[in-house]
Amino acid sequence: MNNVVPGLAPEVPLTLPVPVERTLPNGLRVLLTRRPGVPLAEVRLSIPAAHADLAVADLLTAAIFSGTETASMSEIARRLQGVGGALGAGADPDRIAVSGNSLATGLPELLEVLGDLLKAAEYPDGPLEVERSRIIDGLSVAEQQPDFQVGRVLDARLWGDHPYGHQQPTADEVAAVERAAVLALHAARLHPAGARLIIVGDIDPDATAAAVEKALGDWNGMGESGTGEPRRMEPLPDMAPGPLVLVDRAGSVQSAIRVAYPAVARTHPDNAAQHLANLIFGGYFSSRLVMNLRETKGYGYSPRSRVDHAPAGSLQLAAVDVATEVTGPALAEVRAELRGMADNPPDAEELDLARRYALGSVKLATATQSGVANYMSVLAASGLPLSWLTEHSERLREVTPADIRRVAAERLDPDRAVTVVLGDGAEIREPLAAFGEVVAP
Amino acid sequence: MTVATIPAPAFAIERFRLANGLRVVLAPDPGAPVVGVAVVYDVGMRSEPEGRTGFAHLFEHMMFQGSHNVGKAEHMRHVQSAGGTFNGSTHIDYTDYFNLLPSNGLELALFLEADRMRGPAITDENLANQVSVVKEEIRVNVLNRPYGGFPWIKLPPVMFDTFPNAHDGYGSFVDLDAATVADAQSFFDAYYPASNAVLSVAGDFDLEQARELVERHFGDVEARPAPVHPSFDEPDLDGERRESYVDERATLPAVAVAWRVPDPVTDLDAFLPYVVLGELLTDGDASRLVERLIHTDRTATAVAAHTTFMSEPFASRGPTAMLVQAFLPPGTAVDAVLGTVDEELARVAEGVEEAELDRVKARVAAQLLRGDDSVMGRSRRLATAEIFHGDAAMTTRFASLLGEVTPEAVARAAAAMTPNRRAVLEVIPGGVQ
C-alpha cells in the first residue's frame, strides 16, 4: 500500500486564448474567441443601462422574445431551437444582457435572430401581459426565499438611495409598467454604442466577424442623448456601519446571517492580497469559516465569503444559514473569524494553500467555452481584458503574510461591518441583542 | 438542420478492468490543461436500509472525513492545494465523487480516491458533526423554503409502494440521528468494494502514464465481491393516484404528474422516445406545453417535463417515471391544467411532424455537447455510462440514438401517458397570497 501523499507534477502554465477585437461602425464592440472543443458557440451581449427603471427593464428582458415586426414568438423560438440554440435576457442596475448558445454551425442564424430582436422587437400586448404575470408570480415565490429576502434588505441597508439599494423591483412596480415605457426604454437604450458582444467557441473569428457584421451592422447607433454615450453609474457611497438589522421571518427554522464589509476594486494594488485574504477567511472549503462553522461546529451547510466587484464599486460579504437555536453562537464565530484575520494572521503555509488554489482556479474557470465567455464578460464590465488574469496570477504569487494582515486590518473588522440577520424574531432577538443594538429593516 | 450534421465529440475512450474488479475509463483530450477524476459507486438512495433514510447521502459526507492516509478535511485541503475543486453527490441509483484539477494534480487525485476506496475513517465525533451538517443542508434545501423537495422527494411516495422507491432519500432527522459508526461500516462493506465502482479520468493526460498510475494506486485495493443489485420493480399503476399537501411558504398552486416509463437501461429503445417527448413538450417557447399552458391559456406560469426523478435519463434505472410539473397563477385550478396536458398529449399521440422533431433533437444534442465541454462533467458522464450501460463510450452515442427516435415512437409514448396510469401531487399554497 502507498502511504505517502504524492506531490504534483511540474506546473502547467496558464494559457489563455487571445480574443480578436473588432468595433463595428455603429459602435458595437465585438470580442471573438476561438476555443475549440465541443462544436458550440457561447454568446454574451451586454448593453449599458445605468439608471433604467428596473421594473421596466425586467419586463423588457422577459418580453423581448415575444415577437418582432416579422416574426412571432413561436417563430423566433423555432429558429433558435433548430440550431440547437437558446437565448435568455436579464437586467441589473448597470446593464441589460442577452446571452445564449447554439451549435457552432448555427451561430449565424442565432445572430440573425438576435439582430431581429434588437432592431424590431414589438412587445405585443398579449404576450407582454403574460410576461408581466410571470414576473409577479415569480416574485411572490422569491419573496418567500430566505436568501432573496435578506438580500433585498441588505442592499437597501448598504446603499440606500443609490440604484444598487433597490435591485429587485416589487410586484406593484412591475404591475404599474406600461407598454409605452418598455418601448421607450428599448428605443432609448438598446443601441450598439457602448455595447459589447462576446462570442467564444469552436468558431472562425473572421467568418464570425462577417456574420456579426451582417446581423448587427445595421443596428441603429444612437441612444437617447443622441451622442451614443451611455449614462454612467455613480460610485457606491462608503459603507456606513450601524446596528444589527433583524428581519423577522416567523417560523423560520434557520437564520440567514449576512455580514458585509468594504472591498477595493480589481484595479487596486491590494486586490491580489484581498483575493487571498477572502479565500483564507471563507472563500473556499479549506477556509477558516468552513473549518470552524461547518467541519467543527456543524452549524451550517455552506458558510462562505466572497468579494463582489460591480461597476459602481466592490464589497465583501460573509454568509451562512444556521439552525435557529445556534444563531447567536454562529454570529459570534463569524465575527471572531473576521477579527482573527488581522489578530491571528495566516502564516506562509496557510497563505500558500490559498495561493495555489487561486492560481489553479483561474485554469479551471477558463477550461470551458462558457467559462471563458463568462470570465471575459465579468472582466469587461470592469474594463479589463481576459489577459488581465495572467497579470493577476503574477500578482497573486507576490502576496506576503504581511500583506494579508494589512488588508485584513484595514477592512475585515466586524465592528465596522454591516450585519443583517433574517430569522424567527421571537427566537433570535434576545441572543442577537448580546451583540448590541438590534433594529428592524 | 438535422442531427445527422452534428459531429460527435472527438476524444478517445479507453476501458479496462483491474484484478480487483475496478472498472477504469480513460478519455485523454489535451484541449485545456485540466483533468477530471470521478469515481462512481453503484449504490444510491434506493439501497439504503429501512430505518436509515438518508444514509446513502450521509455516507457520501463521511467519505470526506478522512481515510487511511488522509486526515479529516485533508482531502479537500490536498485537492485545493493543487488548485482543484471537488465534490460528491448522491443520487437515486448511484453516488459519485469528483475532482477537477490542473493536469499536474492527476496522481494526487488518484491517490486520494484510492485511499478512501479502502475505507473512510469514521468516528462518533465526525459522524455527529456531519449529521448536523446534513440537517442544515436539508433545512436550506427543503424545510426553510417554498416547494422544498417538490417533486423529487414528495412524488415518489404517491407513485410507489415499496420502501426503496417511495422513501425520502434526504432522510428524516430521526433516522439521521440514529445512524452509527457500525451502520457506516456495514454500508461500506456491502456497497463500496472496488468491483462496485467505476473510475474515470478525462482531460489533459498521457494515456500510458495514467494507466500506470491507476494500476499503482488502485491495484492493491482489496478485491471484494460486488453486491447483487436487487430488482426494485413494482407493478405499474392501474388507476390514478392523487394526493395533495399544504406548503405554508408556497404562494402559487403547483402540480406534478408522473407516469411510469420503460426501464432506461434494460429497455433503452423504448425509453428514449420519452426523453425526446419531454423536450418536445417543454423546451422553449415553441414547445407544446409552454405555448399552450403559458402563452395561450395562461393557466401556468412555468412548466417543465423530464424523465427520471432527478432528470438524468442516462444515469438511472427502473422503475422510474416521466414527470410534468407546473406552477400555476394564483387561484388556477389544477384540474384545468391536467385536462389541458391530456389534450396536448392526445395531439402528440395523433402524430408529430418530422420538422418539429428535428428541431427538438438539435437542441437535445447541443445540450448533451454542452455537458461535454467541461472535463469534470465529461468524466462523470463517462463513469455513469459505464455503470448503467456497461460502456462509457455510450456517452458519445446518446445524441445519435435520440436522433434515431421516430415520430411514431414519440406518438406512441404520448399515447401511453393516460390518466389511469398517472400519479398526481398537488401543492396547495399556504403562504402569503
Strand order in the sheet with B34-41: B14-17, B23-28, B197-203, B34-41, B95-102, B85-90
Residues of B in contact with A36 (CB under 8 A): 31
The DSSP secondary structure of B197-238, one letter per residue, reads: EEEEEEES--HHHHHHHHHHHHTTSPP-PPPP------PPPS
Q: Which of B185, B218, B251 is the last residue of a domain?
A: B218
Look up cell 444559514; give the residue.
A321
Nearest Cα residue in chain B from A38: B373
Give the 3-state secondary structure of residue A24.
Answer: coil
Q: Which of B250, B285, B294 sits opposite A65 (nearest CB)?
A: B285
Based on the fold, state whether residues B152 and B277 are members of the same structural domain.
no
pLDDT tens per residue across span B346-379: 999 999 999 999 999 999 999 999 998 999 999 9
- Asked which of A2-6, A297-301, B417-421 is least confident by mean pLDDT, the reply is A2-6
Q: Answer yes or no: do B101 and A1 touch at CB < 8 A.
A: no
Q: Which of B218, B252, B268 is the last residue of a domain?
A: B218
Round to whole Å and give the CA distance between A173 and A152.
15
Nearest Cα residue in chain B from A370: B373
Q: Answer yes or no: do B144 and A252 touch at CB < 8 A.
A: yes
Express as a percent the part of chain A with pLDDT over 70. Answer: 97
Which domain, by its residues, includes B345?
Answer: 241-429
Nearest Cα residue in chain B from A349: B81
Q: Answer yes or no: do B83 and A5 touch at CB < 8 A.
A: no
Q: Does B81 touch chain A (CB under 8 A)?
A: yes
Q: Does B284 touch chain A (CB under 8 A)?
A: yes
Supply the pLDDT for residue A230.
65
pLDDT tens per residue across span B210-265: 999 999 999 999 999 999 999 999 999 999 999 999 999 999 999 999 999 999 99
Residues 6+ apart with CB under 8 A from A398: A272
Q: Does A82 touch chain B (CB under 8 A)?
A: yes
Based on the fold, state whether residues B212 and B245 are members of the same structural domain.
no
State yes or no: pLDDT of B284 exceeds 60. yes
What's the count of helices (H) and strands (E) in chain B, helices before strands?
A: 16, 11
Which residues of chain A form CATH 3.30.830.10?
A: 20-216, 244-439
Q: Answer yes or no: do A363 and B372 touch at CB < 8 A.
A: no
Nearest Cα residue in chain B from A202: B373
Instruction: For residues A230-257, give the mean pLDDT.
Output: 94
Provide the angle, in degrees to the nearest 10, between the axes of the packed helices A348-365 and A369-381: 110
The DSSP secondary structure of A131-174, one letter per residue, reads: HHHHHHHHHHHHTTSHHHHHHHHHHHHHHTTSGGG--S--HHHH
Q: Answer yes or no: do B107 and A9 touch at CB < 8 A.
A: yes
Q: Does B101 touch chain A (CB under 8 A)?
A: yes
Gap from A32 CA to chain B (nearest CA, Å): 18
Radius of gyration of chain A, Cα coordinates, nearest whole angstrom = 24
Question: What cell numbers appear for A128 in the block?
Answer: 407582454
Burial label for B355, CB within 10 Å (0-12, 13-18, 19+), is exposed
Q: Does A72 touch chain B (CB under 8 A)?
A: no
Instruction: For residues A14-43, give the mean pLDDT.
Output: 95
Strands A244-248 and B95-102: unpaired
Based on the fold, state whether residues B207 and B251 are members of the same structural domain.
no
Q: Answer yes or no: do A301 and B365 touch at CB < 8 A.
A: no
Q: Does A397 touch chain B (CB under 8 A)?
A: no
Residues of B in contact with A82 (CB under 8 A): 1, 358-359, 362
Diameter of chain B by CA atoms?
63
Nearest Cα residue in chain A from B358: A82
State yes or no: pLDDT of B3 exceeds 60. no
Supply the pLDDT for residue A186.
96
State yes or no: pLDDT of B281 exceeds 50. yes
Within a 10 A sphere around the Cβ of B390, how many other Cβ atoms? 11
Q: Which CATH class is domain A20-216?
A: alpha beta
Q: Does B301 touch chain A (CB under 8 A)?
A: yes
Supply the pLDDT for residue B410.
98
Based on the fold, state whether residues B416 and B347 are members of the same structural domain.
yes
Based on the fold, state whether residues B86 and B163 are members of the same structural domain.
yes
Nearest Cα residue in chain A from B11: A37
Which residue type sits at A78? R
Q: Answer yes or no: do A323 and B373 touch at CB < 8 A.
A: no
Q: Which of A73, A254, A285 sits opposite B295 (nearest CB)?
A: A73
Look up cell 422513501; give the residue.
B167
Superfamily for the A244-439 domain: Metalloenzyme, LuxS/M16 peptidase-like (3.30.830.10)
- Asked which of A5-9, A108-112, A207-211, B354-358 is least confident by mean pLDDT, the reply is A5-9
Q: Which helix (H) or strand (E) holds A77?
A: helix A73-82
Confidence grade of residue B414 (pLDDT, cut at 50, 70, 90): very high
Look up cell 468594504; give the residue.
A262
Confidence grade of residue A1 (pLDDT, cut at 50, 70, 90): very low
SS3 percent helix, strand, coil of chain B, rounded to 5, is 45, 20, 35
Look up cell 470570465; give the residue.
A375
Residue B378 located in a structural domain: yes
Contact B414, B277 (CB under 8 A): yes
Q: Give the Å distances, CA to CA, from A344 to A281, A341, A438, B314.
A: 11, 6, 29, 50
Strands A196-201 and A29-34: parallel
Residues of A in contact with B359 (CB under 8 A): 78, 81-82
Between residues A9 and B138, which one has the greater pLDDT?
A: B138
Q: Which of B148, B183, B218 is the last residue of a domain?
A: B218
Nearest Cα residue in chain A from B2: A82
Look up cell 425586467; give the residue.
A58
Contact A80, A156 (CB under 8 A): no
Q: Answer yes or no: do B34 and A363 touch at CB < 8 A.
A: yes
Supply the pLDDT for residue A222.
65
Q: Which of B81, B136, B432 sits opposite A356 (nearest CB)?
A: B81
| A and B: number of Cβ contacts within 8 A | 252
Confidence grade of residue B209 (pLDDT, cut at 50, 70, 90): very high
Q: Is the peptide bond before B151 cis (omega within 30 degrees of 0)?
A: yes
Give the dihedral of Cα atoms B369, B374, B375, B376; nearest 10 deg: -120
pLDDT, averaged across chain B: 95
Residue B228 located in a structural domain: no
At CA A120, angle to CA A117 and CA A124, rounded to 5?
90
Based on the fold, state whether residues B130 and B256 are members of the same structural domain.
no
In angstroms, the first-to-last Cα distance of chain A is 59
Q: Which of A80, A297, A364 sits opposite B85 (nearest CB)?
A: A364
Q: Give the Å distances, CA to CA, from A180 to A123, A187, A194.
A: 9, 10, 24
Based on the fold, state whether residues B166 and B251 are members of the same structural domain.
no
Q: Does B217 touch chain A (CB under 8 A)?
A: yes
Confidence grade of residue B6 (pLDDT, cut at 50, 70, 90): low
Question: What cell numbers appear for B137 in the block?
Answer: 443542508
Contact A33, A107 (CB under 8 A): no
Strand order in the sheet with A418-423: A304-310, A313-323, A254-262, A418-423, A244-248, A438-439
Round to whole Å and give the CA distance between A35 and A368.
8
Round to whole Å and give the CA distance between A23 and A231.
20
Q: Answer yes or no: do A3 and B102 touch at CB < 8 A.
A: no
State yes or no: pLDDT of A386 exceeds 60. yes
Question: What cell numbers appear for B349 in the block?
Answer: 399521440
Supply the pLDDT for residue A231.
76
Residue B229 located in a structural domain: no
ipTM for the predicted complex: 0.94
Within a 10 A sphere around the Cβ of B238, how many other Cβ atoms? 7
SS3 percent helix, strand, coil of chain A, rounded to 5, is 45, 20, 35
Residue B234 located in a structural domain: no
Q: Answer yes or no: do B132 and A370 touch at CB < 8 A.
A: no
pLDDT tens per residue across span A179-224: 999 999 999 999 998 999 999 999 999 999 999 999 999 998 665 5
- Nearest by Cα to B405 from B260, B278, B318: B278
Supply the pLDDT for residue A223.
57
Instruction: For residues B70-99, give the mean pLDDT.
Output: 96
Supply the pLDDT for residue A168.
93
Within a 10 A sphere around the Cβ of A390, how many other Cβ atoms? 14
Express as a percent the part of chain B with pLDDT over 90. Answer: 95
Round to whole Å and give the CA distance between B153 and A92.
34
Instruction: For residues B101-128, give the mean pLDDT.
Output: 97
Express as a percent the part of chain B with pLDDT over 70. Answer: 97
Confidence grade of residue A227 (pLDDT, cut at 50, 70, 90): low
Residue B295 located in a structural domain: yes
pLDDT, averaged across chain A: 95
Supply the pLDDT for residue A273.
98
State yes or no: pLDDT of A238 exceeds 60. yes
Total number of residues shown for chain A: 441
Confidence grade of residue A154 (pLDDT, cut at 50, 70, 90): very high
- Nearest by Cα to B88 from B97, B80, B75, B79: B97
Q: Answer yes or no: do A298 and B132 touch at CB < 8 A.
A: yes
Instruction: For residues A82-99, give the mean pLDDT.
Output: 97
CATH at B93 = 3.30.830.10
- Nearest by Cα to B383 from B114, B96, B93: B96
Supply the pLDDT for residue A224.
54
> What does residue A434 show for φ and ψ, rounded to 5 degrees?
-65, -20
Q: Which of A38, A103, A291 sits opposite B373 (nearest CB)?
A: A38
Residues 6+ apart with CB under 8 A from B320: B92, B260, B261, B263, B264, B307, B308, B309
Q: Which of A133, A251, A299 sits opposite B329 (nearest CB)?
A: A133
Q: Does A133 touch chain B (CB under 8 A)?
A: yes
Round to whole Å and give the CA distance between B432 and B95.
38
Domain count, chain B: 2
Interface test with B, best of A141, A203, A252 (most B CBs within 10 A): A141
Q: Does B143 touch chain A (CB under 8 A)?
A: yes
- Nearest by Cα to A212 from A9, A26, A426: A26
Supply the pLDDT for residue B7.
57
Supply the pLDDT for residue A232.
84
Question: What cell numbers appear for A85 in the block?
Answer: 440554440
Q: Which of A143, A253, A353 sits opposite B143 (nearest CB)?
A: A253
Based on the fold, state whether residues B194 and B64 are members of the same structural domain.
yes
Q: Does B45 touch chain A (CB under 8 A)?
A: no
Instruction: For residues A165-169, give the mean pLDDT.
Output: 95
Supply the pLDDT for residue B1.
43
Based on the fold, state whether residues B51 and B170 are members of the same structural domain.
yes
State yes or no: pLDDT of B4 exceeds 50. no
- Asked which of A182-191, A214-223, A277-286, A414-423 is least confident by mean pLDDT, the reply is A214-223
Based on the fold, state whether residues B164 and B33 are members of the same structural domain.
yes
Instruction: For residues B50-62, give the mean pLDDT.
Output: 97
